[in-house]
């Protein structure tokens, strides 16, 4: 895996030695970030962070803040190793890089309790039926996405239906093999995300 664009362009992100973690391929990651641009100045949460691949890409492209959320000890070690390789160091909340070692539901709760709202929420959960519904419930209970913000989820072919009204309208969706990239927008102008240099 490599960083595709930004200050770390072409540098390698260390991948897992086992298959318990399913990193986003460079092709799918490139398509995702093309759909998300601009990233410059945006605050980002990388849920189910795995290797830290997506969050590092966002940081490379100029995100002002990236929060990595992961519960698995082996993944947390890999995230720490990758951040170290890039000279990226966790800081205090709201000051750049943060790692939250917890379940996604707990992280939603913590960020909401802190009064935080973000420009972009990324989610690359396990490919299993019902994952979008679980994320839908979390977004409804803990509205941590800014107006004009984007919620982007990578999911499998079997998890394409949502029950009831999703909190935000569908913005874009693309299919790559057995993978869907689905983006929802929280109203408002997308031009309001982040700040240009």
| 9-27 tens-digit pLDDT | 999 999 877 655 556 778 8
* Domain ranges across the chain: 26-189
**C-alpha span between 13 and 16 (Å, rounded):** 10
Give every CB contact of residue 117 below 8 A, 6+ residues apart in sequence. Answer: 143, 144, 145, 146, 149
Residues 52 and 97 sit within 8 Å (Cβ to Cβ): no
pLDDT at 164: 56
Collapse the DSSP code of 43 into the 3-class scheme (helix H, G, I; strand E, B; otherwise coil) and give the result: strand
146 — phi, psi (to 5°)? -65, 160
The pTM assigned to this predicted structure is 0.89
- Give the pLDDT band (50/70/90) at residue 189: very low
| Residue burial 110-133, b: 16+ Cβ < 10 Å; e: rest | bbeeeebebbbbbbbbebeeebbe
Just give the CATH number of 26-189: 3.40.50.150
Give every CB contact of residue 42 below 8 A, 6+ residues apart in sequence. Answer: 58, 63, 64, 118, 119, 120, 193, 194
43-47 and 170-176 strand pairing: unpaired
Residues 120 and 144 sit within 8 Å (Cβ to Cβ): no
**C-alpha span between 47 and 107 (Å, rounded):** 9
91-137 pLDDT, tens digit per residue, is 766 669 999 999 999 999 999 999 999 999 999 988 777 788 889 89
């Amino acid at each position: 895996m490599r960083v595709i664009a930004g200050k770390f362009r072409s540098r390698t992100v260390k991948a897992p030695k086992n298959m318990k973690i399913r990193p986003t391929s460079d092709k799918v990651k490139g398509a995702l970030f093309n759909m998300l641009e601009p990233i410059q100045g945006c605050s980002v949460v990388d849920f189910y962070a795995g290797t830290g691949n997506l969050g590092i890409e966002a940081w490379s492209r100029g995100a002002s803040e990236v929060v990595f959320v992961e519960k698995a000890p082996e993944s947390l070690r890999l995230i720490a190793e990758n951040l170290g390789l890039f000279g990226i160091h966790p800081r205090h909340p709201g000051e750049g890089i943060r790692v939250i070692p917890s379940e996604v539901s707990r992280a939603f709760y913590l960020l909401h309790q802190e009064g935080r709202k973000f420009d972009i929420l990324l989610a690359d959960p396990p490919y299993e039926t019902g994952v979008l519904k679980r994320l839908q419930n979390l977004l409804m209970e803990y509205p941590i996405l800014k107006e004009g913000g984007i919620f982007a989820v990578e999911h499998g072919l079997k998890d394409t239906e949502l029950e009831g009204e999703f909190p935000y309208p569908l913005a874009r969706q693309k299919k790559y093999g057995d993978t869907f990239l689905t983006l929802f927008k929280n109203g408002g102008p997308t031009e309001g995300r982040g700040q240009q240099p």
